[in-house]
């Protein structure tokens, strides 16, 4: 990395996105380029309808992703299994040995978009977690309780205390990623429970607090799960992301929904940040005077946690402003034009990608 805190240009090893929703069908075709043009690899979430619960389904989804990939881009989708109460440990093991299950995703039932078939009670899948611990298959967690009696802003913290703490005791060698953390509590918990526990942090949780959802009215563009929290949590996340600590790495949780699904009597949770994700992160690192730590967070810590080599290529970011479009046009499954609203829509970001530098060795 060539970099200095006051640099107007920085070059980092090509980043990876360790948590992304690429969707399916026409939406997949419409959003894939945004991720693949910047990120070399991405862990692809399995919450399709129906979810990815078999080896065949994972292979078929990977094929659909690769078939939608623009030819000039090199991109490796890393596939995940969607855990359910009755998932078979044999299937998990076989999918892992065939190289199609890179990790398994735990959605507590009904915690977020398309999670109705998720796990109803963590204790019920101990047999799966035993297998995963033994074969070294990482567990990716959407860490929120779904108990309607728990305040929505407290659901992550309650999950950590109620479920994650005992889970770490039961399975000390299981490698776990607490995805898209949103609180100071999660930051401290992850920091003090390594090295088998790590966390991803999204760009939106670094930029906005919960006021954004209610600015001059109800703003569904800023509604995601876990929901954004108070300012003190955003500040704790910014400190964690820019700390360079190996337990924190990039995972955008980019989660596109068509405008018609966002602006609706029951609008969907999810923020589509893929089109300007790295620009969004670099802005935070610059504001925190931590550009030197960007490469660790975006390009090194994640691959290290997952036991993969760093990417050989690099990208150069230059401090030149650009305005994010208010919306991106996309075809829906019926072939009609619809809108996707990207994170930072209408805002001016101060960095842009200058070049992607190939080392020609892959
Ligand atoms: Zn997600």
Per DSSP, 54 falls in state: S
Whole-number Å distance, alpha carbon 4 to ligand 1 midpoint, is 33
User: Per-domain residue ranges for the chain?
Assistant: 15-308
Distance in Å, CA 115 to ligand 1 centroid: 11
CB 118 within 8 A of CB 108: yes
Residue range 204-227, pLDDT digits in tens:
999 999 988 888 888 888 888 898
Q: What is the pLDDT of residue 3?
A: 53
DSSP-derived pairing of the beta strands 352-357 and 314-318:
antiparallel
Angle at 173 between CA 175 and CA 112, to 5 degrees: 35
Centre of ligand 1 to C-alpha 19, Å, is 6
The mean pLDDT value for 314-321 works out to 96
* Backbone angles phi and psi of 141, in degrees to 5: -115, 130
CA of 89 to the centre of ligand 1 (A): 23
pTM for the structure as a whole: 0.94
Look at residue 362 and tell me whether its pLDDT is greater than 50: no
- State yes or no: is 154 an active-site residue: no
- pLDDT, tens digit (0-9, with 9 covering 90-100), for 72-94: 999 999 999 999 999 999 999 99
pLDDT at 2 over 70: no
* Structure-token pair, residue 52: 């990815």
Structure tokens at 348: 């001016």
Q: Is the pLDDT of residue 361 over 80?
A: no
Instruction: Give per-residue pLDDT as tens, 47-66.
Output: 999 999 999 999 999 999 99
Q: How far is the CA of 71 from the centre of ligand 1 (A)?
A: 26
Per the CATH hierarchy, to which homologous superfamily does domain 15-308 belong?
A: Metal-dependent hydrolases (3.20.20.140)
pLDDT in tens, 338-358: 899 999 999 999 999 998 777
Query: What does the mean pLDDT of the chain come to?
Result: 92
Ligand 1 centroid to 78 CA: how many Å? 14
- Catalytic residue selected from 24, 56, 253, 292: 253
Q: What is the mean pLDDT of residues 155-169?
A: 96
Give the contacts of 311 (CB within 8 A, at least 6 positions apart). Answer: 13, 14, 15, 16, 40, 41, 299, 303
Tell me the two tokens of residue 47. Answer: 């919450």
């Amino acid at each position: 990395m060539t970099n200095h805190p006051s640099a107007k240009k920085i070059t980092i090893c090509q980043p990876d996105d360790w948590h992304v929703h690429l969707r399916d069908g026409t939406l997949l075709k419409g959003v894939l380029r945004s991720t693949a043009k910047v990120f070399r690899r991405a862990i692809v979430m399995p919450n399709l309808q129906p979810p990815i619960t078999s080896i065949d389904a994972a292979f078929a989804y990977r094929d659909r992703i690769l078939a939608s990939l623009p030819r000039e881009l090199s991109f490796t989708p890393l596939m995940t299994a969607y855990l359910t109460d009755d998932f078979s440990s044999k299937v998990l093991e076989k999918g892992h040995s065939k190289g199609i299950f890179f990790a398994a995703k735990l959605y507590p039932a009904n915690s977020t978009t398309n999670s109705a078939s998720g796990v109803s009670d963590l204790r019920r899948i101990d047999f799966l977690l035993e297998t995963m611990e033994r074969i070294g298959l990482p567990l990716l967690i959407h860490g929120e309780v779904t108990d309607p009696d728990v305040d929505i802003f407290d659901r992550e913290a309650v999950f950590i205390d109620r479920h994650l703490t005992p889970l770490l005791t039961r399975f000390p060698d299981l490698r776990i990623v607490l995805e898209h953390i949103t609180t100071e509590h999660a930051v401290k918990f992850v920091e003090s429970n390594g090295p088998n526990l790590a966390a991803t942090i999204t760009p939106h949780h670094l930029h906005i607090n919960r006021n954004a959802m209610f600015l001059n009215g109800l703003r569904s563009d800023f509604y995601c799960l876990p929901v954004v929290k108070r300012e003190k949590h955003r500040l704790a996340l910014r400190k964690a992301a820019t700390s360079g600590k190996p337990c924190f790495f990039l995972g955008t949780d980019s989660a596109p929904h068509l405008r018609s699904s966002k602006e609706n009597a029951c609008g969907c949770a999810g923020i589509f940040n893929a089109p300007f994700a790295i620009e969004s992160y670099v802005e935070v690192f610059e504001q925190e005077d931590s550009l030197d730590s960007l490469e660790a967070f975006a390009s090194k810590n994640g691959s290290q946690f997952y036991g993969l080599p760093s990417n050989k290529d690099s990208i150069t970011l230059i401090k030149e402003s650009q305005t994010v479009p208010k919306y991106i046009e996309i075809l829906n499954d019926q072939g009609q034009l619809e809108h996707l609203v990207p994170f930072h829509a209408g805002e001016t970001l101060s960095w842009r990608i200058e070049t992607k530098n190939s080392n020609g060795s892959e």
